[in-house]
Structure 1
Amino acid sequence: MTKFALVLAASALTATGVFAQDAAAPVVADADANGTFSLAEVQAAYTTATEEAFKAADTDASGELSAEELQAAVDAGAFTAA
């Protein structure tokens, strides 16, 4: 159980570390620790994120955003802090 907790903590730090570059940018948490970000997870950090913008950012049409897809959307201004 301790190993699981350590792996989970390391995963959370890795996933959120990508978005720590801009102190003003919200941190998107991978709440279910599956390595991708759902619309609900993105909307928890970017309340103005729409389903349409999310689908456009989901370039592989997987229904979830990878860290790279999320970062590209944020960099492009698709998701902005409210």
Structure 2
Amino acid sequence: MRIASRITTAAIALTLATSVLAEEIDSSVDIDGDGFYSYAELSAVYPDLTEESFAEFDISAEGLLDAQEVSEMKKAGAFPMKEG
């Protein structure tokens, strides 16, 4: 019983964390709605974004940035911010 309870708790925490991260993804930028940003999606909105900078923060190396990776990019000051 105890193991099942821990697994259930972990599953709930993971579900909640995923929901929170998904809320940070801007659907107007995430054109395909997959919950991630591709380089093409981000560079269409932020033309100053370089492929090198994108790849540096693509920790998972899958060619996509999730909300946490974008957050880290912003914290590092490497995310080109929109003016206005």
Give the TM-score, by structure 2 length: 0.61
Q: Give 1 or 2: higher strand fraction.
A: 2
1:36 offset after TM fit, Å?
0.7
1:58 equivalent to 2:58? Answer yes
1:48 offset after TM fit, Å?
0.7
CA contact (8 A) 1:48 1:79 kept: no
Q: How many residues align?
A: 60
Using a 3 Å threshold, how does the CA distance of structure 1 residues 28 and 43 change in structure 2: closer, same or farther? farther
Using a 3 Å threshold, how does the CA distance of structure 1 residues 81 and 51 change in structure 2: closer, same or farther? same
Aligned-pair Cα RMSD in Å: 2.1
Q: Distance in 1 between matches of 2:48 and 2:28?
A: 13
Q: Which runs of 5+ in 2 are unaligned?
A: 1-21
Using a 3 Å threshold, how does the CA distance of structure 1 residues 40 and 65 change in structure 2: closer, same or farther? same
1:35 offset after TM fit, Å?
1.0
Q: Distance in 1 between matches of 2:43 and 2:35?
A: 17
Q: Give 1 or 2: higher helix fraction.
A: 2
The percentage of aligned residue pairs carrying the same residue is: 37
